[in-house]
Amino acid sequence: MTFADRRGGSVVTRFVLTRLLQSVVVVFGAVVISFLLTNVIGRPADVIGGPQMTAEERAALNAQLGYDKPLPARFVQYVGGMFRGDFGISYRTSSDAMGEVMTALPNTLILAILAIVLASALALVLTIFSARHRESRADRGLRRTIGALQGMPEFWLGLMLILIFSANLQLLPSFGFYGLSSLILPVLTLALPTVPTLYRVFRGQMLDVLGNDFVEAMRARGLSERLIVYRHALRNMVGPGVNFAALQLGYLISNCVIVETIFSWPGIGNLLISAVLTRDFAVVQATIIMVAAFYVLLNLIADIFILISDPRVRTVKA
Amino acid sequence: MNLLTSKASKRRTRPGGTSLRTGATLIGALASGAVVARFLPIDPNSQELAESYLAPFSGNHLLGTDVLGRDLLVWCAYGVATSLTVALAVVFISALLGVLIGAYAAYTGGWVDAVLMRLVDLQLAVPPLLIFLAASMVIQPSYTTMVVLLSSVGWVPYARLVRANVLVDRERGYVAAARLAGTRRIGILFGHLIPAAGTPIIVYASLHVGFVVLSESALSFLGLGFQPPTASLGYMISQGRDQLVGAWWIATVPGLVIILLVVSANLIGDGLRDRFHLDSGGLT
């Protein structure tokens, strides 16, 4: 303990360095997976060409896309290209695959970040309600209702929202981008199914904090339950809460695939689906690597945030 | 147990009972509906163009019909069969693989364990949906490929669960006692350590069912999963997507069936968790 205290700074640095190294390993794993999927299981020419392509045409296309070399050579070339920022060429648009992903990424991030903020806010309000009225009939009813929300497929929820708010009430646009009102339905579709997961975790964290001795001491001193929840319990769950929400953001980005398809939103999800349907291998690879890198980065930031927000973690060996 | 406690009141006081019973009843009803549909002389793909676009509760189609005049009730019954078949196969294979890999890794340690943990990290970094999408690009959808695909990422949580449990239990007195009694490694693993991890595995498996149902329907919705003649709930929702304004029920009805399936599987999981959580002291 004293050792860690004296060298607190180096514990943080070492922790960050270890996690950075792990992140690199994980991203490399994503590169391997995307390479294997598109090089060992299927060759683009076979999938793109279909049965009507002749053997010569097929061989020519394979050579053009660089698939005529042996597997290890291709892998070295693939990884080497990445270090130079070359993630292959989209055969549909003949443009840089990673460039296409980077153009679409901000649109996805807008959706995902707004959705995680909305979902966290909703989950927090419900958590505070549950904590103030724990084990009451309302609390149990809330948990039941939340459970039903968890079984709702995003794509179905999206269609239902379109049906209600666009088709019937004609309040909101159902696809494309026409200003802020176009954001409402996609963000809701992403956020609502995330609320149950966040609520469950937040509620658990809150009840953990409320079960502590220091909370009992506050009650003994006559502090109101309201003050304990808002002033003390909330502050104690900010670190783990933000950490968990950041991890959920990673999953939200993958859920964007479905939501963007429904709302014709020009993000990486839509790009990925059209790339998958047209067998545009380079774009699919670039998207997977990008999402994995983003997720790993989020993870890292979330862990560092915990380190900053909670001094107790710093004294424990990482 | 108190002799005076009647059987009925005993059942009512057990934790998680209500969730368990509700979940089991719902999923039982859905499954038996699916089985009954199989044995009746009806085909989900049969089209009656004269009877297309029928709203629910009109004519002799209880849940209505779609663009091609396919009966939604029949389609949903077959869709439930598809979903549950895939879910049960995936859960079984994933659990089997995950338990074996997790127990082996934890018990032997060393590089096997290190490789497993990196695989777990990797699976956390690349969301399953992306792997399914990329794989569906090069694989023809069928029952087999769908089960292989979903199991290929499904085993990881089981492996983590078992690994964590084995690592803790390995240090317990009863394992040391078994070792001293001359039980071989494999005997300790299968006779003691794996059964001890049984409860969390069963609880996770019931929650996993819901996840598989959602994944399968999402892939089918995107056009990368089951296509006719195989009836899938996700496919029917994608058909209803273009008819939202004129025929809301085509997308709505199969979605409600998916929610029923997932919620009842989750209820069983929650019920099991509540029950075992409180009883675990007596079980281990």
The backbone torsions φ and ψ at residue B58, rounded to the nearest 5 degrees and listed phi first, read: -120, 145
Of B86 and A43, more confident? B86
Flag if A258 and B262 touch (Cβ within 8 Å).
no
For chain B, the domains span 17-36+53-281
Cβ neighbours of residue A278 closer than 8 Å, sequence gap 6 or more: A92
Which A-chain residues 211-250 have CB contacts (< 8 A) with chain B? Answer: 250
> B118 at the A interface (CB within 8 A)?
yes
What is the pLDDT of chain A when averaged over all its residues? 79
CA distances from A126 to A192, B19, B272 (A): 13, 21, 25
Instruction: Give the Cα separation of A119 and A188 in Å (integer).
Output: 9
Instruction: Give the Cα separation of A235 and A233 in Å (integer).
Output: 5
Q: Which CATH class is domain A98-311?
A: mainly alpha
Taking the alpha carbons of A204, A205, A206, A209 in that order, is the dihedral positive or negative? positive
Q: Which CATH class is domain B17-36+53-281?
A: mainly alpha
What value does the mean pLDDT take over residues A283-311? Answer: 81
For chain A, the domains span 9-84, 98-311
What is the DSSP secondary-structure string of A84-144?
TT---B-TTT-SBHHHHHHHHHHHHHHHHHHHHHHHHHHHHHHHHHHHHTTTSHHHHHHHH
> A151 at the B interface (CB within 8 A)?
yes
pLDDT at A136: 81
Comparing CB atoms, the residue among B223, B234, B263 nearest residue A151 is: B263
Lowest-confidence segment of A169-183, B204-218, B235-249 by average pLDDT = A169-183
Flag if B134 and A253 touch (Cβ within 8 Å).
no
pLDDT at B95: 93
Among A65-69, A291-295, B126-130, the range of highest mean pLDDT: A291-295
Flag if A151 and B131 touch (Cβ within 8 Å).
no
Q: Return the axis-axis angle of helices A234-263 and A281-309, rounded to nearest 10°.
A: 170
pLDDT at A51: 60
Tokens of A135: 């084990």
> A108 at the B interface (CB within 8 A)?
no
What value does the mean pLDDT take over residues A117-135? Answer: 88
The secondary structure of residue B54, as a DSSP letter, is P
Interface test with B, best of A40, A146, A155 (most B CBs within 10 A): A155
A291 contact residues in B (CB cutoff 8 A) = 126-127, 130
pTM for the whole thing? 0.83
> A253 at the B interface (CB within 8 A)?
yes
Q: Nearest CA to CA, how far is A276 from chain B (Å)?
A: 6
Flag if A258 and B263 touch (Cβ within 8 Å).
no
pLDDT at B171: 79
Predicted confidence (pLDDT) per residue in B265-280, tens digit: 888 888 888 777 644 3
What is the DSSP secondary-structure string of B62-83?
TT-B-TT--BHHHHHHHHHHHH
A147 contact residues in B (CB cutoff 8 A) = 263, 266-267, 270
> B222 at the A interface (CB within 8 A)?
yes
A257 contact residues in B (CB cutoff 8 A) = 129-130, 133, 222
Q: Nearest CA to CA, how far is B101 from chain A (Å)?
A: 19
B248 contact residues in A (CB cutoff 8 A) = 163, 167
Flag if B221 and A258 touch (Cβ within 8 Å).
yes
Give ipTM to 2 decimals.
0.80
Tokens of A188: 């809701």
Residue of B nearest to A299 (CA): B125
Predicted confidence (pLDDT) per residue in A258-295, tens digit: 888 888 888 888 898 888 888 788 888 888 888 888 88
pLDDT exceeds cutoff 80 at A176: no
Flag if B125 and A277 touch (Cβ within 8 Å).
no
pLDDT at B278: 43
The backbone torsions φ and ψ at residue B65, rounded to the nearest 5 degrees and listed phi first, read: -130, 165
Residue of B nearest to A163 (CA): B244
What value does the mean pLDDT take over residues B3-12? Answer: 50
* Proportion of chain B in helix, strand, coil states, percent, rounded to 5: 75, 0, 25
What is the pLDDT of chain B when averaged over all its residues? 80
Comparing CB atoms, the residue among B133, B138, B266 nearest residue A257 is: B133
What percent of chain A is predicted at pLDDT more than 90? 5
Flag if B125 and A295 touch (Cβ within 8 Å).
yes
For chains A and B, CB pairs below 8 A equal 146
Residue B284's pLDDT band, with cuts at 50, 70 and 90, is very low
Flag if A153 and B139 touch (Cβ within 8 Å).
no
What value does the mean pLDDT take over residues B116-130? Answer: 76
Lowest-confidence segment of A56-60, B153-157, B225-229 by average pLDDT = A56-60
Predicted confidence (pLDDT) per residue in B40-68, tens digit: 777 777 777 667 777 777 767 667 777 77
CA A98 to chain centre: 19
pLDDT exceeds cutoff 50 at A3: no
